[in-house]
Structure 1
Amino acid sequence: LAAERPLKDIRDEYNYPKKKGIKDECSRLLEASTMKSRRGFAIQRLMNAMRQAHADGWFIVFDTLTLADDRLEAFYDNPNALRDYFRDIGRMVLAAEGRKANDSHADCYQYFCVPEYGTANGRLHFHAVHFMRTLPTGSVDPNFGRRVRNRRQLNSLQNTWPYGYSMPIAVRYTQDAFSRSGWLWPVDAKGEPLKATSYMAVGFYVAKYVNKKSDMDLAAKGLGAKEWNNSLKTKLSLLPKKLFRIRMSRNFGMKMLTMTNLSTECLIQLTKLGYDATPFNQILKQNAKREMRLRLGKVTVADVLAAQPVTTNLLKFMRASIKMIGVSNLQSFIASMTQKLTLSDISDESKNYLDKAGITTACLRIKSKWTAGGK
């Protein structure tokens, strides 16, 4: 009878974990490279969202969500706890704009959330960045009428996280939306005005958490279990894996200057740009590929099949290459096989697009070294 049931159903019923397969050097290298690329893509989306929010005059709020000891069980038992929280914030923004609660808030609210499992005490918490076109109703300058202007928390977002404590802090920088709305500039503990930084600074701060070692691995080792949350290690197999993943709004940070008028040659070049040409090369690649797919939708199936390139199994290619060049040279060899274009390699049309979009390294006034997660 057991043989007639799929093995997956049996594992799910008895919570029996699937035995991990043995990974060779090529599999481990490909997995590490993939994760590095994903982290880099997530950070590019965050930085692009910061850039776009500044250009559109949106309010940016940095928040830290912690878990109270008496709310742990309720949080772990609700797989949609974070989703519901961000949805509630979106509805608050909708209400402030006089719109219905069931409207989509994609055009007025976006978020980016990174989990962190503290290595010191083992406390799980989340770092979130809220992007709002309109502040929720009741949002007032916390320093209005105060002799010492040292407060930055938004009163309208306090007590909105039902599973513990939150600290929603207004992100203040040169020419921010809060200043344009008349909010006073805060001071530090010594009464000195806070140093005005770039709007990218909070992006850099959150980026370091994206690059940390998998929090799932840290939790599995039970780090900090004696000081906090003794049940986490035993319940780990029952927790949804998405709890330890980066969360963001749909199409978050993917907005770019329209590509509808670009030539096919230009689109192909944008898919091959290296990081030195623009720090948003992966976002450009995805947008250019989307535009090409839209154009392919108007072409006959026969023409698409005729132009379809030969697909290469990268893992098989790596395993075949390792026999000739060895393990130590494999990563550099694979990198050399991937063509990356620089500004000197692309057409004037592509250069003009990058300049008009304002996404070259020179336009952003940052060094190419700020890459996080790989080029």
Structure 2
Amino acid sequence: MKITVYLTGGIAIYKAIEVVRGLEKEGHQVRVVMTKNAEKLVTSNTLAALTKAPVLDDLWTKENEATIPHVHLAQWTELALVVPATADFIAKMSLGIADDAASTTILATGAQKLVVPAMNDQMWFNPAVQRNLTQLQKDGVRIMSPAVGMLAEGYAGKGRMPEPQEILAWVKTNFSSKLAGKKVLVTAGGTSEPIDPVRYIGNRSSGKMGIALAEAARDQGAEVTLIYGHITVQLPSGVKLVSVETSEEMEKAVLNAFPKMDALIMAAAVADWRSEKPSAEKIKKKSGQTKLDLALVKTNDILQKVSQLKKEGQIVIGFAAETQDLLTNAQKKLKAKGADYIVANDVSKGVFGSDEDQVIILSQKRKNTTWPRMTKTEIAQKLVSELLSDL
């Protein structure tokens, strides 16, 4: 494959050298384009030596006077990879600005574009950056979500560039993705069941796993709809977002969207019980009162309903969050719900809000598989790659 790698001026550029080497080791033909800011951190001589080809960094040199190098390279390219992608270069791509060799060449490129952002967390969460990322995804550009970890500023946050091996695996997955043109529905977060206008019944779900799954499916080319309840993390860009509060609202949204979907990943923590008669007014404490009795009624089982509606070709994946007898309870859930897969995890060990988890995959047709402890992002990528491979 003919891959053009764009290096921009982010401190994580030192990792990009390993990405270039990795692509070459995999047998790809690699060419490099660098911004002037990138060359303040790494010299073009280094990349030229690695690729055995000149680095394009200036359209106006003597060597380029009689040629149109950006158009020639754009036509040669089968895949364009921007790594690391700074906020500045992302903005240029989003707006179609062509004011240097890198931005001009990528604007002329019709090949699939993959972008690996890397920046400070405050820049990453800036609304302008998120708008630009959303626009790129609408334009068909695929974005690899940055990692959570130590930043150049000396503290941990989201914005760190993933490790080279993760990027190489992501590139391989995206270029040969089977999810292009597929529609995937993901649910995330917890539902909130009102007791009165002030209080509600909730749970400890952060929504991290569901959002990681939505991002993984999006990054592999799927058209993703994310139905989310109460969450404590940033919503992803490049997916259709549907906000709900109660289990009833979650049920209606899922049942409305599912018939048009190829797959459902039900990662939301839906309440099992709700107040039978929520009070229209705040329930006030009375003098001498020492307890409050609440009548709770069972909520509808969304996963079971959807599984009954499932047509041939559709895949349904549910989650089993347990605190005891994990395999026994998960096996019962798999049989009772009728889902294709159940992802079981023990939530008694600090899973809620954590960036890591350890899961067991139960299937109607395959043997149980225990996965090692990984980050939720890694679990999401592996789950989407393996369990949705039949779509």
TM range (shorter): under 0.3
TM-score normalised over the length of structure 2: 0.23
Structure having the larger proportion of residues in helix: 1
Which structure is higher in RCO with an 8 Å CA cutoff and minimum separation 6?
1
Structure having the larger proportion of residues in strand: 2
